[in-house]
Amino acid sequence: MPIDPKIALGAQLPSREFAWTPSDVQLYQLGLGAGTRWTDPAELRYLDDREPQVLPTFATVAATVHETEPPRVSFPGVEIDLAKVVHGHQEVEVHRPIPAAGKATKVSRIAEVWDKGSAAVIVQEHTVTGSDGAPLWTERSSIFAKGEGGFGGERGPSTKSELPDRAPDFDVTTPTLPQQALLYRMSGDRNPLHSDPEFARAAGFPAPILHGLCSYGIVCKTATDTVLGSDASRVIGFRARFAGVLYPGETIRTRIWRQDDVLTIAATVVERDDAPVLGDVSLRIRPA
């Protein structure tokens, strides 16, 4: 059985020590499109050689930024073919601004395992502590494994947030490059679904798709630039559900509603009649 919930649920995963440099941060943020406004001082803060400001979404790649092998879906009680897996949701909470360089330790566990019948959902939780012993960030993420349900587990919650019933406060379009996925993968996500046309076709897509976490980072950056004057230190939390695919070269439309210190966001594909890319998106702001 690919999934044994009695073994998987609550399982502690091996802890991991890792480090990152300003060059890692620069490469990640270039992979999101940083530098498009190449003469804007606010934009260039993302690419400073010594102290680039760090988007909170860098947390999603910090531990794996130097990896060159495709990821494996192999945990206690879980063995799944990578071609069956798509990202379900991602959330990051930063306890302080992420430094431009650092060392940290990540402790992970399988927090939830849900049986959706035709698929399984596996939720991981990661706690990251800096070398000074103080917490840096907490992540929760889920994967959706097609064809791996039916193991007799609980179905789990079904939550979907509603968008405000009014026009958005901001409506922004962000083009992606045809080579966006090939650039983003240099930050450690070498899943061939994003680079190998044959692998993508075998997985049911006509062409390689953009990494969901790339779209996730692009939308976080777009909201930060649009609402917060490109001040990434004011973002304390960002979450989204991966609601659809984006092909490199397409354009993301980001609609943003602000209420106090929370942004509610919808991200869609301009070229495909606003087909969803990210849903249930929210960004929490540190008060100025």
> Which residue numbers are catalytic?
189, 194
Round to whole Å and give the CA distance between 232 and 53: 7
DSSP summary character for residue 149: -
Residue 210 near residue 248 (C-beta atoms within 8 A): yes
Round to whole Å and give the CA distance between 55 and 44: 13
Measured on CA atoms in the order 12, 192, 59, 168, is the torsion positive or negative?
A: negative
Round to whole Å and give the CA distance between 75 and 54: 30
Residue 231 near residue 221 (C-beta atoms within 8 A): no
For Cα atoms 47, 57, 102, give the angle at the middle one, nearest 5 degrees: 65
Residue 135 near residue 92 (C-beta atoms within 8 A): no
- The β-bridge partners of 268 are 253, 276
Nearest to 2 by CA among 204, 114, 149: 149
For Cα atoms 43, 233, 263, give the angle at the middle one, nearest 5 degrees: 90
Round to whole Å and give the CA distance between 182 and 164: 35
- From the number of C-beta atoms within 10 Å of its C-beta (0-12, 13-18, 19+), residue 50 rates as exposed
